[in-house]
Structure 1
Amino acid sequence: MLFLITGIILLVLWYGEIGPVATWSWYVVFAPFGLAVLWWAWADATGYSKRKAVEKENAKKKARIDKSREAMGISPRKKR
């Protein structure tokens, strides 16, 4: 996401001819978009995206269970 935001900012600065970015080559300005594509391809190929999604789901599930136990008057389990 950082690459995408950086690319958009550089593109706006380059297109609006603002500051030193106006004189940069278009290769430099569009490089963050290429890096974003490479990052997403790597994250999908290695399973990084799926692992993060599963971790997020597990954290939500644990919070929901703890909230339910607390509502019933049962203290949530503590780590040993």
Structure 2
Amino acid sequence: MWLVWCGALLLVLKWFEVDPVATWSWWWILAPLAAAFVWFEFFERMFGRDRRQVEMAEYEKRAKQRVADTFEGFRKGRAGRS
């Protein structure tokens, strides 16, 4: 993620023509963004980090469903007493 922030900072500095970044080639400015693209598209898959994110999303979905089911049970219980 730090590559994305670095690339964004370099883009802003180049856009506002802040020295010495204003004189740099666009290749140097866009290099961190290209490296971030390569990292997120290839290396995360290679190291299995994308699977962890999917597993975490599934875990959060199940947790939200458990909470929703719990509150649904409370609502039905209260509705029956009225």
Instruction: Calculate the TM-score normalised by the size of structure 1.
Output: 0.63
RMSD of the TM alignment (CA)?
Answer: 2.4
What fraction of aligned residue pairs are identical, expressed as a percent? 30
Instruction: Map 1:24-43; keep pairs closer than 5 Å.
Output: 24-40=24-40, 41-43=42-44
In 1, Cα distance between equivalents of 2:32 and 2:73:
51
Q: CA deviation at 1:48?
A: 0.8
3-12 or 57-66, which deviates more? 3-12
Structure 2 partner of 1:50: 51
Structure 2 partner of 1:63: 64
Partner-residue secondary structure (3-state), 2:20:
helix
Q: What do residues 24-74 of structure 1 show as CA deviations (whole Å, max 9, x unaligned)?
A: 35453222123202321111222211221221121121121122123313x
Q: CA deviation at 1:12?
A: 3.7
Q: CA deviation at 1:21?
A: 1.6
Task: Letter of the 2:37 partner, please give it.
Answer: V
Structure 1 partner of 2:3: 3
Paired residues in the alignment total 73
Instruction: Calculate the TM-score normalised by the size of structure 2.
Output: 0.62
Q: CA deviation at 1:8?
A: 3.3
54-63 or 21-30, which deviates more? 21-30
In 2, Cα distance between equivalents of 1:31 and 1:24:
12
Q: Which runs of 5+ in 1 are unaligned?
A: 74-80
10-19 or 46-55, which deviates more? 10-19
Q: Which runs of 5+ in 2 are unaligned?
A: 75-82
Determine which structure has the larger helix proportion and give its number: 2
